[in-house]
Amino acid sequence: MGAEAHADGGGSETDVISGSESSVETGPADWRRICDGSQDLKLAVRRGGYEGGNTFIAHELGQPYLYVRGDCHYWTAAGQPQNPEGFTLNDWQVTHAGILTSTMEEELSRELLYDRWLELAGHYMFPNPGGYLIEYSDGTSTIRCDLACSSEVNAPQELKDLTPVVNRRIQRLWDEGTELDLADPVRIDLRRVSGARPLTEEPCALEWPFDLDPAAVARDDVDDPSSPSRLVTDRIFASEIRSLRDQYLAGSVPEGSCNLLLEDSSFLFYEAADPMTVLDLWMRDAVPLENADGRIPLPEPPAGP
């Protein structure tokens, strides 16, 4: 899985250099290049993000999102995958990665009005702030819209018209990309919660199956709920937790158990020595553009009109 595009940038060194050299050539005057051959973030589109204090780690990078680096490598999550029973799984996005071809780069730049982002930079606000956001950034200039630039927001019409275009393009890039390697880094939020009854009596709970010591990464539920997720680079754990997620996303659960992921909920684990303590776990794919807190900060936009 994901042999062509790993979370460390994907592809061979030759592929990256070749793609970068072709990307930095001067392009036509009627569209703006995204790829300049650098390791910098050159394009970001995300809905939701972590604005508004959402504590689910699945929202740290946005729902959905697209990030493109200067060497034309991209990472994307299309949002709302479905399992075989038809449930949407908002909080269990699977990240795909790929490399933009020169044709894909031009199409993306044109469709997303990339050459207009500096001119359109600003925060277009709903009269009562707090609605669902959409953000665009080239790493220098940022556009932010409340309510995803809906008709109720005082934003230019071209930004309002852009939202469905963005949704289609992210879905297409996700479809054309590949899953990350099973052993690539993951981010987790593991909370220790006192249970009201032994977890051995809870059919949705699993005995902790990993060699990773939960005490090394868990936090008590009384901690700040907005604390960042933790990066786990242990290749064995990453492979095992991704495999378990994929198994549950496919609707396959251990006999006699149940599937909390159908409810957009977390994994429940317990240790055999302490079945009264719930180990409540969320996980997501990590991407190399994240900072230590599991975020990809964007420049603040100028004040809106």
Name the more confident of 190 and 18: 190
The 3-class SS string of 143-205 reads EEEHHHHCCCCCCCHHHHHHHHHHHHHHHHHHHHCEECCCCCCEEEEEEEEECCCCHHHCCCE
* Predicted confidence (pLDDT) at residue 1 exceeds the cutoff of 50: no
Domain ranges of the chain: 13-179, 186-285
Cα–Cα distance measured from residue 57 to residue 280, given in angstroms and rounded to the nearest whole number: 13
Contacts of 129 (CB under 8 A, 6+ apart): 146
Name the more confident of 109 and 227: 109
Supply the pTM of this predicted model: 0.86
Name the more confident of 196 and 61: 61
pLDDT tens per residue, range 124-162: 988 766 667 899 999 999 999 988 888 888 899 999 999
pLDDT tens per residue, range 173-186: 999 999 999 999 99
pLDDT tens per residue, range 273-299: 999 999 999 999 999 999 998 999 999
